[in-house]
Amino acid sequence: MTSSSESARESTDLDLQGWIDRLSEAARSGEVLDLAGRGSIDAFDVDSWGPARCVPAAALRYVLTGAAASGVDPRGMRVRGAYIYDELDLAHVAFPHPLHIISCVVRAPIDLRGAAIKDLGFEGSHIQELFLYEAVIAGNLYIGGGSQTGEVNAVGVRVSGQLLLNGVTLSNTGGCALVLDTAEITGGIFAGGGFDADGEVRAPEVRIGGPLDLRGVTLRNGGSRALNLNGAHIAGDLLAGEFAGKGFEADGEVSATRAHIGGRLDLDGAILRNTGANALDLTDAQIAGDVFAGKGFHAYGEVLAAGTRLGDARARVAQPPELRIRRGVRDRSQDVRRSADRRTGVPRRTAALRMRRSPRSFSPAPVEAVASSLAPGLHPPS
């Protein structure tokens, strides 16, 4: 028995030229080709959308390539409420205009490897997989606004504007949800407010020209690494604190070894869970700004900071001076230990924070500053 969506696809395929004409006109006018109108844009209702909303990927590819792309309005191509049922192959396509796939359902991979596009958005769309390997985006890359997708692979992507992930849900359980290895994001990454990833978020050696905003983000990859920022270069702040009352949460290791943070590190209200292993690894990281870890910061697992260096800033102490941790001094490093406080009953905890001495211009020593901020939220092994 044929489903309504399959019947719609068959009838749509017979009218390929008609879709090419409609998409071409939308590109020339710059107006949104709104196929939903007041109808549903809920992905669960896609089987009832009918042939009037089933766009063949071949038609969209035709309009975005070659001579068909000439005479495009500066606002580019914008499609809303479409059901794209086959693979959208835009690998190595050069489209010097904005492309926005808004509140659409794409039940096959979107391949943009090596593509060059002025501005790219998938606002509110449901996508199976998205490949952006070494793509070049001259403006912003927007995957937020309630979007849901499987793996987003953007190794080596270059974005001259911002990467906007606000409100997106990524799901690739047991694998990688987002891959940004060696990517270059000039304007910063903004994921605060509803970003949810099931699977590892990888960004080793990423270069970010602005802030990395992870406030209120939820990452799940229990028993493995939830966030990989090893060797990352972040020109601005790394914000992993609260957004609208919700803190950053990670189930799995958060690793930022050898990371360079040009601004502050904000962990206010963050909850890091990786019991029996590393919850947070800042080994050999360099942090130029302040370090915050108050407002209910908790780390269930080891916190490592061997060789971490701070610049001309200091960590904000997240507890009254009388609750500061004890510390013993060694020749080249310091072990930081927290004993049970007589009033609060906080259990003895080896914080595993080892740090080199700071430049002479820094006061207090970074081991005191970072440890004082992180220690209140450290939890003993169960």
Residue 178 is which amino acid?
A: L
Q: Where do we find the tokens 């403006």?
A: 139
Beta bridge partners of 84: 106
Beta bridge partners of 337: 326, 350
What pLDDT, on a 0 to 100 scale, did the predictor assign at position 204?
A: 98
Beta bridge partners of 49: none
Average predicted confidence (pLDDT) for the chain:
81
Query: What percentage of residues in the chain have a pLDDT greater than 90?
Result: 62
What pLDDT, on a 0 to 100 scale, did the predictor assign at position 192?
A: 86
What pLDDT, on a 0 to 100 scale, did the predictor assign at position 232?
A: 98
What pLDDT, on a 0 to 100 scale, did the predictor assign at position 310?
A: 83
What pLDDT, on a 0 to 100 scale, did the predictor assign at position 305?
A: 87
Q: Token pair for residue 97?
A: 């205009």
Q: Token pair for residue 213?
A: 């905003």
pTM of the model: 0.82
- Give 30-52 pLDDT, tens digit per residue: 999 999 999 988 888 898 899 99
What pLDDT, on a 0 to 100 scale, did the predictor assign at position 15?
A: 86
Residue 42 is which amino acid?
A: D
Judge contact between 376 and 328, C-beta under 8 A: no
Q: What is the mean pLDDT of residues 211-220?
A: 96
Distance, in Å, from the CA atom of 248 to the CA atom of 246, rounded to the nearest integer, reads 7
Distance of CA 100 to the CA centre of its chain: 19
What pLDDT, on a 0 to 100 scale, did the predictor assign at position 96?
A: 93
Beta bridge partners of 247: 242
Count other Cβ atoms within 10 Å, centred on residue 108.
15
- Give 106-160 pLDDT, tens digit per residue: 999 999 999 999 999 999 999 999 999 999 999 999 997 777 878 999 999 999 9
What pLDDT, on a 0 to 100 scale, did the predictor assign at position 8?
A: 54
The pLDDT of residue 19 is above 90 = yes
Instruction: Name which residue leads in pLDDT, 190 or 333.
Output: 190
List the Cα angle 173/142/236 in 5-degree steps.
90
The pLDDT of residue 9 is above 70 = no
Q: Which of 65-79, 201-215, 365-379 has the lowest mean pLDDT?
A: 365-379
147-to-47, 122, 167, 189, 323 alpha-carbon distances in Å: 19, 7, 7, 16, 44
Q: Which of 81-90, 116-125, 186-195, 368-377 has the lowest mean pLDDT?
A: 368-377
Give the containing element (helix H, strand E) for 381: none
- Give 145-198 pLDDT, tens digit per residue: 777 878 999 999 999 999 999 999 999 999 999 999 999 999 999 998 889 999
Distance, in Å, from the CA atom of 135 to the CA atom of 156, rounded to the nearest integer, reads 7
Q: Which of 201-210, 259-268, 273-282, 291-300 has the lowest mean pLDDT?
A: 291-300
Sorted by where each begins, the domain ranges of the chain are: 139-379
**Banded pLDDT at 346 (limits 50, 70, 90):** very low
List the Cα angle 265/270/271 in 5-degree steps.
140
Q: Token pair for residue 64?
A: 């975005």
Residue 261 is which amino acid?
A: I
Q: Token pair for residue 72?
A: 């495009």
Distance, in Å, from the CA atom of 282 to the CA atom of 373, rounded to the nearest integer, reads 14
C-alpha distance across the termini of the chain, in Å:
55
- Taking each helix axis from N to C terminus, what angle separates 16-29 and 57-64, rounded to the nearest 10 degrees? 40
Query: What percentage of residues in the chain have a pLDDT greater than 70?
Result: 77
Q: Which of 105-109, 147-151, 254-258, 365-369 has the lowest mean pLDDT?
A: 365-369
What pLDDT, on a 0 to 100 scale, did the predictor assign at position 380?
A: 54
**Banded pLDDT at 218 (limits 50, 70, 90):** very high
What pLDDT, on a 0 to 100 scale, did the predictor assign at position 244?
A: 80
Query: Do the strands 333-338 and 349-356 form a parallel or antiparallel pair, or are they unpaired?
Result: antiparallel
Write b or e for each residue in 297-328: b if 16 or more Cβ atoms lie within 10 A of its Cβ, otherwise e: bbbbbbbbbbbbbbbebbbbbbbeeebebebe
What pLDDT, on a 0 to 100 scale, did the predictor assign at position 312?
A: 56
Note the maximum CA span of the chain.
79
Give the contacts of 10 (CB within 8 A, at least 6 positions apart). Answer: none
Instruction: Name which residue leads in pLDDT, 20 or 8.
Output: 20
Give the containing element (helix H, strand E) for 131: strand 130-131
**Banded pLDDT at 273 (limits 50, 70, 90):** very high
Return the DSSP state at 69: G
Q: What is the mean pLDDT of residues 300-317?
A: 74
What pLDDT, on a 0 to 100 scale, did the predictor assign at position 3?
A: 54
**Banded pLDDT at 377 (limits 50, 70, 90):** low
DSSP-derived 3-state class of residue 334: strand
Residue 123 is which amino acid?
A: E
Distance, in Å, from the CA atom of 359 to the CA atom of 373, rounded to the nearest integer, reads 19
Region for residue 145 given its phi and psi (left: phi exceeds 0; alpha: psi -120 to 50; beta: otherwise): left
The pLDDT of residue 352 is above 70 = no
Q: Which of 160, 163, 153 is nearest to 130 (CA)?
A: 153
**Banded pLDDT at 341 (limits 50, 70, 90):** very low
